Structure 1
Amino acid sequence: MNSLKHTFLLLFVLSIAFTACNHTGTETQKSKTRIIKGLYSYGPEIKSFTDCEEGREYWVADSSKTLELGYSKFNFEKPYEPVYIEAECHAIKSDSLVVSADFDSTLVVTKLIKITREIPDGPCNQ
């Protein structure tokens, strides 16, 4: 009987610990979400973002399904024409088995805030 109580107690403690770990992971993901501002280029082989402040270039994954759609509405004659974007995203490590391996990180866009052909004055327009 005593071992049965210990087993239930152990299961109870483990379930609380598991729930706490999952809750912390969700909050960590939300805290890593950030707003990016810079230049986005899209074409058949490359989807890249250049952070104008840092000068770093990232591969882009469009989980919002609005970034590529917004880009295509400009009807560029040639691919890879840069546009200015502001978007909500989080960074992940790039997959080493695909084209994105040439980039240190991949930005996963979760919400497109702004997309425009007009590149604002400042570090993006140099």
Structure 2
Amino acid sequence: MRIRYIQYFAFLFILFLAASSCNRNPKEPAKPVVYKGLYSFGPEIKSFKDCDNSQEFWVTDSSAMLELQYSQMNFEKPYEPVYVEVEGVKIKSGKEGLGSEYDSTLIVKKVVKITKEIPQDMCN
């Protein structure tokens, strides 16, 4: 009888582990994608405009490099757009906060390229 209880609890434990390992965060895809577009930064706006479809996103810089490299370009005024290629993931924006007016948020994981020169053939 005691062995049955041990088997029962072992089965429940294994079932719990299996269920919890399948519980990924559905808001954030596992693999980052390269996005190419225009990034603007200032006191109230951190936005990205995708060159492929002109969709705009709020930006969260988890790499801690995008905002740093942008500020090192020494613009005289904020919100000057720059061309960027970044690895990141898109998630649905929250309902509150600065990015709430955007449908989606781009979480930047890595900066591939940042330049003041905006390619006219890609981003009009």
Determine if the TM-score, normalized by the shorter chain, exceeds 0.5. Answer: yes
Tell me the equivalent position of 1:81.
80
- Residues 54-99 of structure 1 show CA distances to partners (whole Å, capped at 9, x for unaligned) of 0110000000000011101111111110000000000111121112
- Report how far residue 30 of structure 1 moved: 2.2
Distance (whole Å) between structure 1 residues aligned to residue 30 and residue 7 of structure 2: 38
Runs of 4+ in 1 over 3 A off after TM superposition: none
Q: Which runs of 5+ in 1 are unaligned?
A: none
Q: The residue matched to 2:29 in structure 1 has which SS? A: helix
Query: How much has 1:14 moved relative to structure 2?
Result: 2.5
Return the alpha-carbon distance in structure 2 between the equivalents of residues 73 and 3 of structure 1: 64
TM-score, normalised via structure 1 length: 0.86
The residue aligned with 2:71 is 72
Higher share of residues assigned helix: 1
List gaps (5 residues or longer) in structure 2: none
Residue aligning to 1:6: 8
Q: Deviations over 1:98-119 (max 9, x none)?
A: 1211100110000000000001
Q: How many residue pairs end up in the alignment? A: 120
* Partner of residue 30, structure 2: 30
